[in-house]
């Protein structure tokens, strides 16, 4: 626990180190949560960082067809190409700097695979996967996919040496293009050596900072590469700094949903009964099937 903070800013309530695991067809990820100690940070359910890694031809892996229900996935591709397809017939390639925001809602089957070109050539792969919960009254909404290219994502450049790409919500005078079901901020910050950026966090909202690369200082507390800082709700602003070298951070804030969370693999509901129903519906093909 942190015992100090910048004046009038949020303090760091806790930090979490990442663990390493494998997802999909066997690609490695670095994950600060969910863990047994930190199952979620309402309304966010997961952060996975894939890479950055240099892949030889034929080495790229993806996620073969799998279902989702009850939440949203945010796929932010920083390097490499991902071909997305789903059981509703939607297909889209997300290239470097682009995002797919998938509202699974009532249920969908989805795949995310390297494009044939990227698989053949190899190259640098780097991606973030963020899961965002839906409140109970929206878990049954029809699935929807929103896609934006790098050029569609607004970037703010601050006088304090930070470049901020805003995916959703508003920060530093720019607003991300994605329509969200819950009030959130999703921003990617690139801080020059000695750079800093101050962020707003509405009263009652949760806020956290994940270090994607380098080292950062969050509300005065040192945060190593791959670590996450969860902030207390004791202010409405916080500062992220890169005192010793360039750093990249993921900044998330969101209004807590405040409901029970029952989760099992690709399903996130409110009760165990709803989870069992989701599993039955998937087996019976009620979430659709991938086109042949």
| 59 annotated as belonging to a binding site for a ligand | no
Residues in the chain: 292
| 137 annotated as belonging to a binding site for a ligand | no
CA–CA gap between residue 245 and residue 45 (Å, rounded): 30
- Give the pairing type, strands 247-254 and 184-191: antiparallel
Picking from 272, 257, 230, the residue whose alpha carbon sits closest to that of residue 1 is 230
CA–CA gap between residue 148 and residue 155 (Å, rounded): 14
C-alpha 257 chain-centroid distance = 17
149 burial type by CB count under 10 A (0-12 exposed, 13-18 middle, 19+ buried) = middle
CA–CA gap between residue 234 and residue 3 (Å, rounded): 13
The b/e string for 75-100 (b: 16+ C-beta within 10 A; e otherwise) is bbbbbbbbbbbbbeebebbbebbbbb
| 68 annotated as belonging to a binding site for a ligand | yes
Contact 16, 47 (CB under 8 A): no
C-alpha 62 chain-centroid distance = 17
| 117 annotated as belonging to a binding site for a ligand | yes
> Where do runs of H (alpha helix) occur along the chain?
116-121, 272-283
Going by the annotation, the residues of the binding site are 66, 68, 110, 117
Which residues participate in the annotated binding site for Fe cation? 66, 68, 110, 117
């Amino acid at each position: 626990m942190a015992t100090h903070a910048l004046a009038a800013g949020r303090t760091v309530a806790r930090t979490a180190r990442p663990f390493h695991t494998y997802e999909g067809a066997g690609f490695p990820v670095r994950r600060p949560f969910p863990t047994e100690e930190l199952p979620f940070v309402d309304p966010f359910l997961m952060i996975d960082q894939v890479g950055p890694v240099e892949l030889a031809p034929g080495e790229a892996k993806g996620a073969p067809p799998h279902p989702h229900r009850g939440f949203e996935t945010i796929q932010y591709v920083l390097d490499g190409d991902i071909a997305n397809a789903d059981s509703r017939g939607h297909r889209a390639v997300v290239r470097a700097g682009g995002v797919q925001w998938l509202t699974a809602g009532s249920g969908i089957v989805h795949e995310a695979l390297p494009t044939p070109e990227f698989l053949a050539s190899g190259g640098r792969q780097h991606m973030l996967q963020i899961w965002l919960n839906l409140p109970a009254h929206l878990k049954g909404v029809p699935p929807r996919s929103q896609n934006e290219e790098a050029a569609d994502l607004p970037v703010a450049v601050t006088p304090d040496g930070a470049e901020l790409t805003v995916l959703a919500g508003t920060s530093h005078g720019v607003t991300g293009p994605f329509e969200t079901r819950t009030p959130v901020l999703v921003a990617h910050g690139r801080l020059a050596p000695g750079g800093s950026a101050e962020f707003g966090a509405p009263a009652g909202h949760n806020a956290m900072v994940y270090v994607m690369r380098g080292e950062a200082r969050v509300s005065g507390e040192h945060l190593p590469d791959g670590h996450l800082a969860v902030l207390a709700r004791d202010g409405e602003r916080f500062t992220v700094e890169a005192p010793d070298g360039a750093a990249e951070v993921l900044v998330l804030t969101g209004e807590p949903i405040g409901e029970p969370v029952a989760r099992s693999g690709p399903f996130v509901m409110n009760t165990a009964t709803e989870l069992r129903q989701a599993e039955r519906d998937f087996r019976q093909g009620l979430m659709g099937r991938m086109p042949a």
